[in-house]
Amino acid sequence: MRALIVDDEMVSRKKMIQILSGFGQCDSVKNGKAAVSVIKTAIEEKTPYDLVTLDVSMPDINGIKVLAMIREMEKDAGIETESRTRILMVTSHSDMGTVKACAGKCDGYIVKPFDKDLMVDKMTRLNLI
């Protein structure tokens, strides 16, 4: 499995790296702009990520906008829905507005704080492990 962690909080990013690195290659970036760049390159090189964990609240480009940009890049590249990257939104906000804004575009969400058991459950449900 190849994963990308996108989170502006260093502690959350390191915790997710620690959890996911046991399941395969794990890259990380600290903002939305970097995420879009890395994912664009991965799509162009035909080496897309299997999983992206995407923080909702980031200072440069929020996760909801990054999510939309990723899905648009996948569409433009002709990637079918069943082959697209699995994206889990990571948020400290459990409000329904955040969840509804992501509905249909993401593959699930995680409310901080998260742990290994939760991540294993999410990855299992997405058939990633």
Which residues, 6 or more positions from 32, have their beta carbon under 8 angstroms from its beta carbon? 6, 58, 60, 61, 62, 63, 65, 66
Q: What confidence tier does 3 reach under pLDDT thresholds 50, 70, 90?
A: very high
Indicate whether 126 belongs to any domain: no
| Mean pLDDT calculated for residue range 79-95 | 88
Check residue 68 and give its pLDDT: 95
pLDDT above 70 covers a percentage of the chain that reads 98
CA 84 to chain centre: 12
Check residue 102 and give its pLDDT: 81
Indicate whether 84 belongs to any domain: yes
Structural domain boundaries enclosing 82: 2-120
State yes or no: pLDDT of 64 exceeds 90: yes
Which residues, 6 or more positions from 62, have their beta carbon under 8 angstroms from its beta carbon? 32, 56
Report residue 45 as tokens. 């090189």
Tell me how many domains the chain contains.
1
Q: In this structure, are residues 8 and 63 in contact, taking their beta carbons and an 8 Å threshold?
A: no
Q: What confidence tier does 96 reach under pLDDT thresholds 50, 70, 90?
A: low
CATH assignment at residue 34: 3.40.50.2300
Which tens digits make up the pLDDT trace of 7-30? 999 999 999 999 999 999 999 999
Indicate whether 17 belongs to any domain: yes
Check residue 99 and give its pLDDT: 72
Q: In this structure, are residues 108 and 89 in contact, taking their beta carbons and an 8 Å threshold?
A: yes
Indicate whether 92 belongs to any domain: yes
DSSP secondary-structure letter at 93?
-
Q: Is 113 helix (H, G, I), strand (E, B) or coil?
A: coil
| Mean pLDDT calculated for residue range 19-48 | 97
State yes or no: pLDDT of 70 exceeds 70: yes
Q: What confidence tier does 36 reach under pLDDT thresholds 50, 70, 90?
A: very high
State yes or no: pLDDT of 91 exceeds 90: no
Indicate whether 38 belongs to any domain: yes
CA 7 to chain centre: 9
Indicate whether 128 belongs to any domain: no
Identify the burial level of 16 via C-beta atoms within 10 angstroms of its C-beta, where 0-12 means exposed, 13-18 middle and 19 or more buried. Answer: buried
Indicate whether 112 belongs to any domain: yes
